[in-house]
Amino acid sequence: MLGAIIGDIVGSRFEFHNKKTKDFKLFNQYSHFTDDTVLTVATMDALLNKKPFDVTYKEWFRKYPDAGYGSKFISWGLSDGFKPYNSFGNGSAMRVSPVGFYYDSEEDVLKMAQESAKVTHNHPEGIKGAQATALAIFLARKGATKEKIKEEIEKRFNYHLDEPLDSIRTWYRFDVSCQGSVPQAIRAFLESEDFEDAIRNAISIGGDSDTIACITGGIAEAYYGSISEDLKMEAYKRLDSDMINTIESFYNLLNGAK
């Protein structure tokens, strides 16, 4: 959702220039959306208009072909077929946040997170990363405490979420796998004090900064319940009208009757 998109935009300029500190300017002239945003909006579009995930991901990829996708996704997006490619990359987790906001039962969230992942990321770890992210968002928006969210994610997915960020920062490096980035993104949320602090935590560990902050941002939005207008405006300034229209329509749907 918008929290995920803000995380992506803030993290975009740090992906290959990691900053192992929380002290940085959130936006500058180089901040931009990446494939994380494109495919998050695509997930909204699929849910809004009851379209297949694979068809919708290809549509949005072809609208924005230069947004920084992985090589395997590019090959899939350009192909005429829809066969998944057994990925366990964090692309399945970065695009799943709308699922956690849209559905009203754990069963539906887990099922549809799997559906959204498996069209490309049908490796068990790719599915697991999407499900863990979506479930954390669902639990957060339903009022679960951070302790409960941590307990549920650890129990269901065998992620280890005890290591503090101060420790993670000392060794963490670029890792685009679900298993090597989703737990760290969740930990960044767990240590946060508010939405902005969550984004700063995510960036501060380094690694695949835009995607880690995207995952963290989706959970933080669900938990804290609001994002400042200043942050929203900074994000909207960097998005195209078709993205904004889809985002606004999705929020309107959530705030009304599905």
Judged by DSSP in three states, 177 sits in: strand
Cα dihedral 102/104/109/112 (nearest 10): -60
**Token match 């909204």: residue?**
44
194 annotated as a binding-site residue: no
> Exposed, middle or buried: residue 177 (CB in 10 Å: 0-12, 13-18, 19+)?
middle
What six digits make up the tokens of 238?
Answer: 């960097």
34 annotated as a binding-site residue: yes
210 annotated as a binding-site residue: yes
Cα separation, 122 vs 200, whole angstroms = 31
36 annotated as a binding-site residue: yes
Side chain identity, residue 253: L
Q: Smallest Cα–Cα separation from 72: which of 84, 58, 60, 57?
A: 84
> Exposed, middle or buried: residue 209 (CB in 10 Å: 0-12, 13-18, 19+)?
buried
43 annotated as a binding-site residue: no
CA distance readout (Å), 175 to 125, 224, 229: 14, 27, 32
208 annotated as a binding-site residue: yes
Residue numbers in the known binding site are 34-36, 208, 210-211
The annotated binding site for Mg(2+) is made up of 34-36, 208, 210-211
